[in-house]
Structure 1
Amino acid sequence: METSRTQVAIVGGGVAGLMLSQLLHVEGIDCVILERQTRAYTEARIRAGVLEYGTVELLRRVGVNGRMDRNGLRHEGFALMDDGEAFRIDLHQLAGQDVMVYGQTEITIDLMDACVERGVPIVFEAADVELHDIEGAPWVGYTKDGKAYRIDCDFIAGCDGFHGVSRRTMPDAVAHCIEKVYPFGWLGILADVPPMDHELIYSNHERGFALASQRSATRSRYYIQCEASEKIEDWSDDRIWDELAVRLGDDGRMARGPSIEKSIAPLRSFVCEKMQHGRLFLAGDAAHIVPPTGAKGLNLAASDVAYLADGLIGFYGRGDEAGLAGYTARALDRIWKAERFSWSMTQLTHRFPGMSAFDRKMQKADLNYIRGSEAAQTAIAENYIGLPL
């Protein structure tokens, strides 16, 4: 077995792991990233695209913001629509900040390029990853091309997602997990057509939720609520565009085109409240999942690794372990607030199976109250742009 050493072993080469590597690198802390997929596969994954202002500032802090600043779309608001009637939440006026629309795929590419340029090692196609001795002198074992490797380290950052090995290695993690599974999914389509609007539109329609989103001035991302049992093979491009036209009240602004990608994603709220044990720390989807309605998944991963990086910087720079000891409490405070906002936006904009007439009246009353209340709109705006890190 070939052995090497680093200060922090990062399991997972998605945005959480990549961002953590750069936060550590600029402070002179050594790390290695293990990613089970190829670079091409990782960079091609289609994910979220709305960045909180805090996430934008983190990318600037590590100097990985050039393409984002050139190509990202700054959004000052978004629309809420109910049965065809829309009103706008003015983020800039209400909360004093904007959000940035810049695809997670692009962020992944930018962060990987930074790793290569700065000499941060990434092991792609790392198989059979196992975490050892997390309460003592931790090490990570893996295989690549049939050969066994071992990385000794001071700490392990588990950034390997909901199905990764890190949470499974955490003793008694299951006992600390809280989950809500929603009775529907989101069917998404990505196409190289101009967006129907310069800002996002969240639509609550009698046929179900729809979202008009975008990745650039020439690339659109749309979603519709569908049954969790639906199969993507049953949804032709034409069927999706027709359904979007109904739910979004298309007035001729929605350009149609062939799909680049189509998928159906289940919706769940999930939190593992045990985010650290010994020298293993969880971050991102390894510790929590949110419904995409609030645009919080990527942004929570960013705040997790910001807190974890702060703790590691304090440990290596000052010998101060307080930041690491308090990591879970600090992260969970923000996680549960984001979970609440994502849940509330989902409740507000979706038609739930078995929804009674009373339930629908309450939903409409909420939307009408928000429409007429600056205080209610401010609360939404503050959460949408992102609570302070």
Structure 2
Amino acid sequence: METMQRRLRESPVITSVVSVLLGMLVGAIMMIAAGYNPIQAYQALFMSAFLMPYDIGETIRTISPLILTGLAVGLAFRTGLFNIGVEGQFIIGQLAAVIVALKMDLPPVLHAVVAVLAGALGGALWAFLPGLLKATRGVHEVITTIMMNFIALYLANTLVRNWLSQGADSTETIPESASLRWDLLSQAFGNSRIHFGIFIALATALFMYYLLWKTTLGFELRAVGLNPHASEYAGMSVKRNLIMSMMISGLFAGLGGASELLGTSGYLAIHGSHTGIGFDGIAVALLGANSPLGIVFAAVLFGVLTYGGPVMQFEANVPTEVIRVVFAAIIFFVAANVVRWMMSKFGNKAVKKSD
């Protein structure tokens, strides 16, 4: 009995599901206090994401970058690093992809592939410096990656205004040869903006699983994350693995930025602030317990909430800010181990009664 309850308390699936329900409960309480109908609001929220082919396509489009940024954060967590710079690496991925798309003249398909790879490489190189400083100087990656988020934002804005657009607030639309959209796929989902980014995201999730649990490099990355001193004693290069971990994490984030630009917007505009997709990846990774499959499911939930928020506001007159409160509540319940504390407390009471 005690063993079963211990397994339930330590199960990331149980923790995630209960955290989501508690987060939605907090949102419902807020709606009731403000005079809104939570049942009507949540009904509009979830039906909007799955009711029509167009809505399904747009929901999948919203999910795609969340999977990639969630994987970026999750891989870093698995290897003992807290990569707060996924947002900046995401922006650099967009920047590198749009440069290749606009400045290179390549045949269709090859153009898109090169642009995606450029985005991935850009994200990896942007993550190299924090990894190097962590490995060689002991500089905490949270500080360096936060600073580099702002550098990435203003660098992208400067290049867009002064080079890529000649003074305009956005670049030209990328050529069709570099786009990740496919007309047949879009038509199958009601002419939505769904694109090949979802396949890139799912393939990256499989790659992360294979890398971490089926390769020697993955074993070393996880070992260094768990105990760098023991790993060094065992003959592993801690410095090399720290840098490699950060670069692979940045590669995932750069893939997210490239696929979002090449598949959704088709151009890069000057950002007044960060996109927020990289920061949402932190929440996705936490809810998904830093596992590839968990991150995919968490991204689906967050994608549904993100896409359905405006519809909820339109049909139930509930402000979209409520969705951000739900996000925050879910993160709080996961990060504070509230669910495990509740199950431990009530589980111990149940054991005492049975005795």
Higher relative contact order (CA 8 A, sep 6+): 2
TM category (shorter chain) comes to under 0.3
TM-score (structure 1 length as normaliser): 0.24
Structure with more of its chain in helix, by fraction = 2
Structure with more of its chain in strand, by fraction = 1
TM-score (structure 2 length as normaliser): 0.26
